């Protein structure tokens, strides 16, 4: 029996991507086995983290590494590390940063919300964000001018949520910060390339273990040994509430080992078949234009961009997304990637499907567009009402 039935949960199909709100990803069998093996046993966590450090260093071409609760936790603890070093007295004093350099420079276009605000992860360490440039334009001279004796770190965010043009690129960002003697932290939560950011000069690179890697929920801190050690020491301070268990560490080690031997070409080929099926099916439906789009941050994967002409489809992009997610009958719920849906399009991500689900996704589109075509009135609700309804439902939790 599907365990979701046991808990009374809907059997959703995830074409949104590696989203925390949907459970992030399908955990790989190697990680499942490692977790099952370690859960009944006692281990010395420091020693287990030493094994993780070696695995991370090998995977990321870094000096050292460790595992924490999440990539969000990694941001906070990495910033804390730049303020305290390995001074345990300062570690215990945080988030009181009186007398410490406590400013973190970050481009305004990188101050995103990934489920929580980036600047909140900074503030949790007792630091404060110093925005650089405008939301759609930043330059190296502005970064240099923002750095002062109060600056403790420079944070660079890699995400599909960030502004994708007009900003300082990583190589220049690193060069300017290092010229001023400031360490660079890269938030690369959802990135495939585990070596790119350290190779580009980042002092610390942060990843999610539970997204493309297919591990348990955890964060990876990779980089210079002194800074990694200082971040690890935060477990005796503000990091205590962000601790990771033995299962998360063992799952991360196993996921990193599996990543090294994974047949990435075969995975891409399977995803391309899914995308082609959806592309061909959806482009036959009235009011839908589907195109295959590359990942905006350079990951080696594509998604299907589904643009909706409401006048022909007789349903808006957001109403279609909601209809797919909340079917009126016993059809499978399909959750699309809808963070830009007010622009009349959304995406289908093929990376988290079980065999056969790609066919169900295609069929669900045919059903919903057919229903919209036969409806007496077009289904086009004001977007702000949809947004308000979703926020109201969230505030009503747990009811």
Spell out the CATH class of 23-261.
alpha beta
**Radius of gyration, alpha carbons of the chain:** 22
pLDDT (tens place) for every residue of the chain, 399 residues total: 688 888 989 999 999 988 888 888 899 999 999 999 999 999 999 999 999 999 999 999 999 999 999 999 999 999 999 999 999 999 999 999 999 999 999 999 999 988 899 999 999 999 999 999 999 999 999 999 999 999 999 999 998 888 888 999 999 999 999 999 999 999 999 888 999 999 999 999 999 999 889 999 999 999 999 999 999 999 999 999 999 999 999 999 999 999 999 998 999 999 999 999 999 999 999 999 999 999 888 888 899 999 999 999 999 999 999 999 998 888 899 999 998 999 999 999 999 999 999 999 999 999 999 999 999 999 999 988 888 888 888 888 888
Residues 78, 231: contact at Cβ < 8 Å?
Answer: yes
Record the tokens describing residue 312, joined without a space: 């022909």
Which of 258, 254, 102 has the alpha carbon at shortest distance from 182?
Answer: 102
Q: Report the candidate in 167, 173, 170 with the shortest Cα–Cα distance to residue 188.
A: 170
The ranges of the chain annotated as CATH 3.90.1150.180 are 264-395
Phi-psi domain of 155 (left: phi exceeds 0; alpha: psi -120 through 50; beta: other):
beta
Q: Token pair for residue 12?
A: 């959703």
> What is the reported pTM?
0.91
Q: How far apart are the first and last CA of the chain?
A: 26
State whether CATH 3.90.1150.180 applies to domain 264-395: yes
Residue ranges of the chain that CATH labels 3.40.640.10 = 23-261
Distance of CA 378 to the CA centre of its chain: 35
State pLDDT tens for residues 19-65.
Answer: 888 888 899 999 999 999 999 999 999 999 999 999 999 999 999 99
Task: Using the structure block, give the residue that is written with the tokens 């093929």.
Answer: 350
* Nearest CA-CA partner of 56 in 197, 182, 238: 197
Distance CA 254, CA 257 (A): 5
Give the Cβ contact number of residue 394 at 10 Å.
8
Sheet holding 345-348, edge to edge: 288-294, 302-308, 345-348
Q: Are 206 and 74 in contact (CB under 8 A)?
A: yes
Number of Cβ atoms within 10 Å of the Cβ of 1: 5
């Amino acid at each position: 029996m599907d365990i979701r039935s046991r808990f009374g949960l809907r059997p959703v199909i995830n074409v949104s991507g590696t989203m925390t709100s949907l459970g992030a990803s399908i955990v790989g069998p190697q990680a499942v086995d490692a977790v099952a093996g370690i859960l009944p046993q006692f281990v010395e966590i420091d020693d287990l983290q030493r094994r993780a450090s070696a695995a991370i260093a090998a995977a990321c071409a870094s000096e050292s590494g460790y595992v924490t609760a999440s990539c969000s936790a990694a941001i906070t603890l990495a910033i804390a590390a730049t303020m305290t070093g390995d001074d345990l007295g300062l570690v215990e004093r945080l988030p009181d940063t009186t007398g410490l350099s406590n400013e973190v420079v970050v481009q305004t276009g990188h101050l995103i919300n990934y489920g929580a605000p980036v600047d909140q992860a900074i503030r949790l360490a007792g630091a404060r964000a110093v925005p650089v440039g405008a939301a759609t334009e930043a330059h190296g001279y502005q970064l240099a001018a923002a750095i002062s004796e109060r600056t403790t770190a420079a944070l660079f965010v890699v995400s599909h949520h960030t502004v994708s043009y007009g900003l300082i690129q990583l190589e220049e960002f690193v060069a300017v910060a290092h010229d001023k003697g400031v360490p660079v932290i890269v938030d690369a939560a959802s990135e495939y390339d585990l070596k790119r950011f350290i190779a580009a000069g980042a002092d610390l690179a942060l990843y999610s273990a539970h997204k493309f890697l297919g591990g348990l929920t955890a964060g990876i801190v990779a980089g210079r040994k002194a800074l990694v050690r200082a971040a690890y020491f935060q477990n005796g301070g503000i990091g205590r509430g962000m601790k990771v268990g033995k299962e998360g560490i063992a799952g991360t080690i196993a996921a990193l080992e599996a990543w090294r031997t994974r047949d990435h070409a075969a995975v891409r080929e399977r995803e391309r078949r899914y995308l082609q099926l959806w592309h061909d099916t959806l482009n036959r439906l009235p009011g839908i234009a589907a195109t295959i789009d590359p990942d905006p941050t350079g990951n080696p994967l594509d998604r299907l961009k589904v643009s909706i002409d409401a006048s022909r489809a007789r349903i808006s992009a957001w109403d279609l997304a909601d209809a797919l997610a909340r079917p009126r009958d016993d059809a499978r719920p399909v959750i699309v990637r809808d963070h830009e849906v007010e622009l009349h399009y959304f995406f289908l991500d093929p990376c988290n499907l079980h065999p056969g689900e790609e066919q169900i996704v295609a069929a669900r589109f045919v059903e919903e567009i057919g229903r919209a075509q036969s409806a007496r009135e077009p289904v086009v609700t004001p977007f702000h009402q949809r947004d308000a309804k979703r926020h109201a439902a969230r505030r009503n939790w747990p009811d």
